[in-house]
Structure 1
């Protein structure tokens, strides 16, 4: 077939993946907008709300290694539509539930459902696009997730104001089910599966699906690599910090300390989407074309995250409103926007065939970190009491920022200890 047909198919798959990935950050951050309404409607305190929001991350994290194994064995063609459809159903159930148990189950289903999206996406990139474009493609992919952050912030705030938080989630769930159907009809694992010839060799290993023995060997090889654990430390800190604060407590912070309305807070949180849109492609470009290395980009983003939380903890209630737009922009750019470098590093070290497994392992611990930090932040806020109008105090938020700054320093250490993956084609086993 003419080359343009294969390229058109690759573009269609990429577009569908980007649409699906919108829902991952959307479901992550939408509680930041709905938190106050849900707490009032369901009579929840801050720690319980933190646990409810973090249930998504617990199930998401638990599924990362299985997601990678399924991507490398069953393939994205089967994995994506089934699980993504579950996420849509979970959002609908969340909107219909009238008990904390029902909300918790629905939130877990949403986490399970979207857990496969990013891993399957980068697996498909490794098959449909050339190796030298991998970091850029995954960076654009992460950047497109910024639209999900935008949709889960300002537009979701407007939608909840107009329809209520329940109807807003039901509508998003119905759209998610429709996307799952499209994925089933159009996604194929490889160009060969779609009837085309692959124009480039696979990177590092054979492109076929792995046997159970090969999958287990990949897990052992990856887990025995010191470089993997240094990358994982950095990745853990960048992801967990961004999603713990930006994904839940950023909205209440703006409403409590800057006295913003829900719509105004949503507008500020929109900057996380823009930061992710800018940060993902920029990070991939810096890594591939400017530094031609991963480590400098990791270090730059880790140091930036430390600085952000030091500033917020010391001056958060005194900063002008315009500064909060800038702050949340850089939170996303340094956080989620930087993560494509971690995935590219895994591919550099372990090759194409283990991309799903390695990325799944890399993506596992950060979600558990969020599931700890979100309720822990809620406990800290409750411990420092409330203002006369019922909001949380700046002292509570400052102590939370101290926690995040300390974790970010750990990320700096991880980045400093990383051995440059591009210069290390095979893992350095402990």
Structure 2
């Protein structure tokens, strides 16, 4: 009887099952973003596309994905996750499947844009689900786990996608990927529920999830008080003075430029990387799939090390210049190792240089921490939006630039370009960001002087 009572009072762990659903959704999400990179070589030959056209196809996803982030977030606030996720899954999976049925450059660009539109609400939805299912002191770990799906998921999926294409062709690859999304949409609808509606979550788990609601209410009250005080000094966040700070401050431009450069390396691996291995390095298609997974595993390790080690240093009292800035600078520096692949024909060394570069990209993944460290407190959202917008441009610009650079079949200029971006990011954090200290508004300076 006593044991039964203890079991009743012990929180169930249904929230971790929900986290598993999100993780697999992220894996499918990135599978449908990147299967075009696996299909690229065969698709280019079959449809007689130029490298410039392929670059435009790669970048088309980013055109709509970045523009639809804010509308997607609004939709997430109004539609329940149990309904919204299956709907967007079916829509982007349908666009993925149809790619296997078309034969024109224009149709492929349009379908990639459609996938960008329908995937835009996915990450805001993931964040909302974690907020609903996890208490505040477990959310950071939950977010780290599901976001790791973009690297570790692709590391294991890349060989699978290659085998599927080898068996069914590039058209079959898109069709199979789309069908997987349809199946997963049904599974999500059957198994996902909000906490209060889930039969698997007992009252103890619901209480555990809601343990910090009182604290949140108190924090909201404090924030409203702070906002009232701020509004007395600043009638609007979008004043001319505030916008001037956001778009002219050296430190803030340091993180904006750094985010764009960080995205450049990531986009190369999500788009042109398999083509580089097959077309330029002449690797066997099946073998290239397995080798392509290695840099993704390296990036996954970099992501974990950057977050946990940086937080560890903070807890030990190490300065922000070291604990926060060092991973960024070291990561950008390591990303420049991609250029080493230009000076060897040894496959092992090529993959080693590329893995070091992608590991460095993962190590630099804590870039968002600098928004909270540098931005004026009342402008954190605005600064974060600017950083995300400028960073997203990498997904639009970099694939097209690479397409122009490899027109004659030589990928060396493209790797120089990616290494140069990493070098610019390195210099940006080293010299433009400089000392880690919060940017102050003119009104704040005036208040200090007046006081």
Superposition TM-score, scaled by structure 1 size: 0.78
Match of residue 60, structure 2, among 55, 62, 66: 55
1:392 aligns with 2:410: yes
User: Which position in structure 1 is the counterpart of 2:108?
Assistant: 103
Shift of 1:166: 1.1
User: Which position in structure 2 is the counterpart of 1:211?
Assistant: none
Instruction: Please tell me whether the aligned partners of residues 265 and 422 of structure 2 are also in contact (alpha carbons under 8 angstroms).
Output: no
In the TM superposition, 1:326-345 aligns within 5 A as 326-336=352-362, 338-339=364-365, 341-342=366-367
Pair 1:44–1:141, CA change in 2 (3 A): same
User: Which position in structure 2 is the counterpart of 1:311?
Assistant: 337
Match of residue 264, structure 1, among 271, 281, 287: 287
Match of residue 177, structure 1, among 175, 182, 190: 182
**Greater share of helix:** 2
1:44 aligns with 2:49: yes
Shift of 1:23: 2.4
Question: Which moves more between the two structures, 87-96 or 296-305?
Answer: 296-305
The alignment of Structure 1 onto Structure 2 pairs a total of residues equal to: 401
User: Which position in structure 2 is the counterpart of 1:93?
Assistant: 98
Pair 1:338–1:406, CA change in 2 (3 A): closer
User: Which position in structure 2 is the counterpart of 1:283?
Assistant: 306
Unaligned 5+ segments in structure 1 are 208-216, 386-390
Shift of 1:80: 2.9
CA RMSD of aligned residues (A): 3.9
Instruction: Please tell me whether the aligned partners of residues 47 and 375 of structure 1 are also in contact (alpha carbons under 8 angstroms).
Output: yes
State the structure with bigger RCO (CA 8 A, min sep 6), 1 or 2.
1
Larger Rg: 2
Structure 1: how far apart are the matches of 2:91 and 2:296? 25
Pair 1:344–1:73, CA change in 2 (3 A): farther
Structure 2: how far apart are the matches of 1:9 and 1:218? 43
Match of residue 402, structure 2, among 377, 394, 397: 377
Structure 2: how far apart are the matches of 1:16 and 1:294? 35
Instruction: Please tell me whether the aligned partners of residues 58 and 371 of structure 1 are also in contact (alpha carbons under 8 angstroms).
Output: yes
Pair 1:170–1:364, CA change in 2 (3 A): farther
Deviations 1:305-336 (A, max 9, x none): 54345433355241632233333333333325
Structure 2: how far apart are the matches of 1:205 and 1:72? 21
Pair 1:81–1:37, CA change in 2 (3 A): same
Unaligned 5+ segments in structure 2 are 1-6, 222-234, 443-451
